[in-house]
Amino acid sequence: MNVMPGYVREEGMSEQSTSLLSVTDKKRLLREMLYARRFEERCYEAYVERKIGGFLHLYSGQEACAHGVLEAARPGFDYVITGYRDHIHAIKCGADPREVMAELYGKETGSSRGRGGSMHIFDVKHRFMGGYALVGGPFPLAAGIAKGIKMKGGEEISICFLGDAANNQGTFHESLNMAKIWNLPVLYVCENNLYGIGTRIDRSTAVLEQYKRAAAYDIPAGQADGQDVEAVYAAAVQAVEHVRSGNGPYFLELKTYRYRGHSMSDSNAYRSKDEEREWLKRDPIQILRNRLIDANALTLDEFKAMDREILDQIENDVVKFAEESPEPAVEDLEKYVLAENDPYVHGGRQ
């Protein structure tokens, strides 16, 4: 199988639109994606320095997916849930990057008070409903959130981001089936990065085009180039509109590539350097940057200044906050296991 970028198929893909986003929006998105890249690369360094423990799954290369989709939705209002590659989805929903970094450092000031770690970022006040480490686990949770939205009559939608390999779990099939029969307002976004840990999609999956699998549940689906944030945005506008209008679930596949290994313990030995080089040529940040430069909306110097400013902010604000924050108190080890002082534990009002 050819897994070079050319593998991204044209037939059936959403029309790329260059007119939907304003120049201001595009410049902001460029900054956000660059921030995401620098944030993740700084996590890499902190991991190597052993400041971050456990498993660390980085998003570098896939930035256009979360940013393009959530740009079309209402972050902080719509509910978002994802797997373990979750830092950037949380930040795009409104999570404070300092709290996300502090979580990776295991600090009390972290998003999950240091109890979750990289794979379990939560920011419920921004309706980021968490990162989950069991592949495919969020499929039914997203449908359940959608059920709750529907019962309460809200305008929110539920958005679930997962990778292609999650579609081989039973939860994919069970959840899509129920989301359809109950007409739930849930958008399933498949970030197809071609690998399930170290196994390439054609060695694990009978149907390579993931959007086709939604047809098994009569769920409308689309596919877009996940390296082009404008294409993602254009496809997501249609997807979000479909779901928010009460038409039930939608499935959106985005063709993308992760630059780092599945996690930090992965050396990428299962894929060729040629393949990686080819995909690097379709870097989502470079694509948008070059487009803005070509349109005379940005200069290379401005881009470099933006990069320096981001690097400075991450170092002197985000990392500094994480480094200087306190550890959780060991006395609080058993806090958050069960609700505290729940009256019904003792029989409630009698």
Q: Which of 2, 151, 294, 330 binds other proteins (CB under 8 A)?
A: 151
Kindly tell me which of 21 and 187 has the beta carbon lying closer to other proteins. 187
Task: Please identify, using beta-carbon distances, which residue of 16 and 169 lies nearer to other proteins.
Answer: 169
Residue from 310, 263, 313 nearest 54 by CA: 263
**Least CB distance to other proteins at residue 249 (A):** 12
- Residue 142 within binding range of other proteins, rule CB under 8 A: yes
Tell the smallest beta-carbon distance from residue 101 to other proteins (Å): 15
Beta strands in the chain (DSSP E): 79-82, 128-131, 158-163, 186-192, 195-196, 199-200, 221-225, 250-255
Cα separation, 221 vs 236, whole angstroms? 11
Write down the least CB distance from residue 172 to other proteins, Å: 9
Q: Which is nearer to other proteins, 97 or 116 (CB)?
A: 116
Q: Which is nearer to other proteins, 76 or 148 (CB)?
A: 148
Distance CA 230, CA 26 (A): 8
| Binding piece for other proteins, criterion CB under 8 A, among 33-41, 44-52, 145-153, 264-272 | 145-153
Residue 13, both tokens: 């893909």
Q: Does 140 bind other proteins (CB under 8 A)?
A: yes
Minimal distance, residue 274 CB to other proteins, in Å:
38
When asked if residue 177 is in the footprint of other proteins (CB under 8 A), the reply is yes
State phi, psi for 31 to the nearest 5 degrees.
-65, -45
Q: Binding other proteins by CB under 8 A: which of 34, 36, 70, 178? A: 178
The Cα 135–Cα 83 span in angstroms is 7
Decide: 176 and 249 in contact? Cβ < 8 Å.
Answer: yes
> HSE on the CB side for 26, CA within 13 Å?
27
| Cβ 90 to other proteins shortest distance, Å | 12
Q: Are 177 and 217 in contact (CB under 8 A)?
A: yes
Segment interacting with other proteins (CB under 8 A) among 26-34, 168-176, 208-216, 218-226: 168-176
Distance between CA atoms of residues 241 and 185, nearest Å: 10
User: Burial level of 55, CB count in 10 A (0-12/13-18/19+)?
Assistant: middle
Residue of 35, 122, 195, 250 interacting with other proteins (CB under 8 A)? 122
Q: How far is CA 185 from the centre of its chain?
A: 19
- 330 interacts with other proteins by CB under 8 A: no
Q: Is 347 in the site for other proteins (CB under 8 A)?
A: yes
| 134 forms part of the interface with other proteins (CB under 8 A) | yes
**Contact call for residue 152 and other proteins (CB under 8 A):** yes
Q: Applying CB under 8 A, does 130 fall inside the site for other proteins?
A: yes
CB 222 within 8 A of CB 11: no
Q: Which of residues 83-112 bind other proteins (CB under 8 A)?
A: 110-112
Whats the size of the chain, residue-wise?
Answer: 350
Among 26, 89, 113, 262, binds other proteins (CB under 8 A): 113
User: 35 or 250, CB closer to other proteins?
Assistant: 250
Q: How many CB atoms lie within 10 A of CB 225?
A: 25
Residues that bind other proteins (CB under 8 A): 79, 81, 110-116, 120, 122-125, 129-130, 132-134, 137, 139-152, 158, 170-171, 173-175, 177-178, 181-182, 335-339, 342, 344-350
